[in-house]
């Protein structure tokens, strides 16, 4: 279990709900993943009673995290957040304020400004950000209690392109919950994030667009669980040279003696 903002979550996997081939595949993928949180974009789906998509998600009993995907300004993000809270009935919010349509990189200044407004308004803001240390500090000062640094650009599937920066961010704020968000393309990428000490992983495209989203969702669930257990158990440090795993002290050795035929 993962305790987050006074809620008990059944796993550390956060799963997006867009781009699936059908609502039924989405439903089965969520169940297969055992996801603790699912993200929903207000711009892609209107929630509330009477909407089949929302009612299907609500029936699963999974914590919903609305997001402001597609917003490019502070006003746009804040307005979308307020609408999402009313429709989905939660003050949890994944905050996205995009600064560039090509890379979908967050706009740092707009992100901080929007976060400050929303935190004052009672939201639990999950800010989508780069792995920038200074940006992390400003978001925490704005009132955020959790951070969501990317592994690489959204939908790229590149995995963690700057592990040193993510590791530094994790070590700088050891008590702050952190979820790696965006760029995760394979279960091994998710396991890597968890082995670095992150609290969770958010992904969407890698599951939704795979040949078998239901099986892939399960694969990610196992990878995240394994990565977390590995981190808690203590990952061995890398060495520059070989180191025998079998002890040699007290082990008998037999040497073949060379015969000197000339002495015969």
Residues serving a catalytic function are 94
Of 88, 83, 85, 130, the closest CA to residue 109 belongs to 130
Measured between alpha carbons, how far is 213 from 216 in angstroms, rounded to an integer? 5
Helix H or strand E segment including 118: helix 108-120
Of 157, 168, 95, 183, the closest CA to residue 131 belongs to 168
- Cite the beta strand spans of 10-86 per DSSP E: 13-16, 37-41, 63-67
Spell 71-93 as b/e; 16+ CB within 10 A means b: bbebebbbebbebbbebbeebbb
């Amino acid at each position: 279990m993962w305790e987050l903002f006074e809620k008990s979550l059944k796993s550390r996997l956060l799963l997006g709900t867009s781009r699936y081939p059908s609502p039924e595949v989405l439903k089965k993928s969520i169940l297969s993943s055992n996801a603790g949180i699912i993200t929903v974009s207000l711009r892609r789906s209107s929630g509330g009673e009477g909407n089949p998509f929302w009612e299907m998600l609500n029936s699963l009993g999974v914590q919903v995290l609305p997001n402001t995907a597609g917003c490019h300004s502070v006003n746009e993000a804040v307005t979308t957040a307020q609408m999402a809270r009313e429709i989905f009935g939660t003050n949890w919010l994944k905050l996205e304020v995009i600064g560039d349509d090509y890379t979908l990189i967050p706009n740092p200044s707009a992100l901080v400004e929007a976060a400050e407004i929303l935190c004052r308004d009672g939201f639990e803001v999950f800010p989508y950000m780069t792995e920038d240390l200074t940006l992390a500090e400003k978001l925490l000062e704005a009132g955020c209690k959790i951070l969501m640094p990317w592994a690489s650009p959204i939908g790229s599937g590149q995995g963690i392109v700057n592990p040193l920066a993510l590791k530094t961010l994790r070590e700088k704020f050891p008590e702050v919950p952190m979820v790696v968000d965006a760029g995760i393309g394979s279960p091994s990428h998710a396991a890597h994030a968890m082995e670095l000490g992150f609290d969770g992983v958010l992904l969407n495209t890698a599951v939704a667009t795979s040949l078998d989203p239901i099986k892939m969702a399960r694969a990610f669930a196992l990878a995240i669980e394994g990565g977390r257990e590995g981190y808690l158990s203590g990952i061995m440090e890398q060495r520059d040279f070989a180191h025998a795993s079998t002890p040699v002290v007290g082990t008998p050795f037999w040497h073949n003696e060379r015969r000197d035929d000339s002495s015969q």
